[in-house]
Structure 1
Amino acid sequence: MKQSKILLAVVSICIISIFTFLIAWGNGSIGVSSNRIEEDARKSQKIDENWKVAKDVTDEMGILMFYDTNVDKQVFSVYTTGDPLTYGYIFKSGGTLGIEKSQIQGFSYEGKGMALVSMNGKGIEAIKVKKGTEVETIQVVPNEPFAVIIPTYVEEVVGLYNSKGESIAIDNIRVN
């Protein structure tokens, strides 16, 4: 009889723990999966469903830039992974970008990489990065807004280039 009461108590604690975890995970307080980042950002930052999004998600970070081509305003969201006691992606920062169409904004998160967002008024079409002696090219659609994550293995951003091969500078990098 005593053993069955102990077993019932252990099973009850396990069930309550699992139920609590599932509720916390379901409402995003533990983190969100990669396929729910956009939904979470739109909901938490009250972003209209009609706004377009440029986004990039890696195993370590997610960057989203929401925009409306009729309004000179953009909203960004940055999510990262790997925080203790969390699952999935956790919202790290976000807000309004007051960038002009031609500006390029960077966000650097130590150990997670660097994210770049732009309305791409300068016509960026390639981002060249270096790892060791190899130079890789990240393609961007010219004159289209973009959100790109520069992976953590990259040692150096060689440059951003337009269709004429001209090097374009990053206007601002926020270090977090």
Structure 2
Amino acid sequence: MKAEKIPLLLGIILIILLAFLIVWQADVLGVSAARLEQDARENQEIGNNWEMAQAVNDDMCAMLFYDEEKDDCAYSIYLSREGFSFGYFFRQGGFDPYMAESVKGIVFEDKGIALLSLNEDGVCRIVVDNDTGKKVISVDPEKPFAVVLPVDCSEITMYDAQENVVTLYDTYTGI
């Protein structure tokens, strides 16, 4: 009786192993929300001594890493996928000197907009206008920020502490 169960058990183990390999190769397992920072730091070789500003929603995660002096920065964008998948998948990242000077906007047409900045302009308020009305997002004018906005934003206006409009100079569609 035991000799009959061994081939059956080996067959079940083989089927489970094949199913796991198929799922792994199909690239449906992304990074969980809890591991996004760790994954970005490891893959982009960002030290733990750098601070981070992060924003996450169901479709996108935007992270801005920066050193203590705010002289250097790196960013990471992760997106979720439609259909049968789990977690977030790295989309783009790296060093961008423009984020140190102003606010960088990265648009992903079907996911939303990521705003990233070391906040040299002192942005303290972001007003987003869309079909449902205006939404006000408060930002610490002394700290770098990452903000994720929905895809249906029609107008984005940023203000500093003196109520001056801060221009979003660089907005482009992410690759």
| TM-score under structure 1 length normalisation | 0.83
RMSD: 2.9
User: What is the Cα deviation at residue 102 of structure 1?
Assistant: 3.8
Query: Using the alignment, how far apart are the partners of 2:91 and 2:82 within structure 1?
Result: 11
Partner SS for 2:95: strand
* Correspondence for 1:146: 145
Cross-structure match for 1:11: 12
Alignment map for 1:130-169 (pairs within 5 Å)? 130-132=129-131, 134-152=133-151, 154-169=152-167
Report the equivalent of 1:113.
112
Q: Counterparts of 2:51 and 2:137 in 1: how far apart (Å)?
A: 22
Residues 130 and 155 in structure 2, CA contact (< 8 A), matched pair in contact too:
no
Query: Alpha-carbon deviations, 1:36-78, whole Å to 9, x = none?
Result: 1110000000001100001101100000110003362210100
1:123–1:91 distance in 2 versus 1, CA, 3 Å: same
Structure 1 match to 2:61: 62
What fraction of aligned residue pairs are identical, expressed as a percent?
A: 31
Please give the alpha-carbon distance, in whole angstroms, between the structure 1 residues aligned to 2:79 and 2:13: 34
Number of residue pairs aligned between Structure 1 and Structure 2: 171
Alpha-carbon displacement from aligned partner over 1:66-122 (angstroms, at most 9, x marks no partner): 000336221010000015553210000011011264411111111100000111111
The answer to which of 59-68 and 133-142 deviates more is: 133-142
Q: Report deviation, 1:21.
A: 7.0
Give the AA of the match of 1:167.
Answer: V
Q: Which runs of 5+ in 1 are unaligned?
A: none
Moved more, 166-175 or 33-42: 166-175
Q: Secondary structure at the match of 2:121?
A: coil
Aligned to 1:38: 37
Give TM-score scaled by structure 2 length: 0.84
Question: Quick one: distance in 1 between partners of 2:70 and 2:120?
Answer: 15
Which ranges in structure 2 are unaligned for 5 or more consecutive residues? none
**What's the CA shift for 1:12?**
3.0
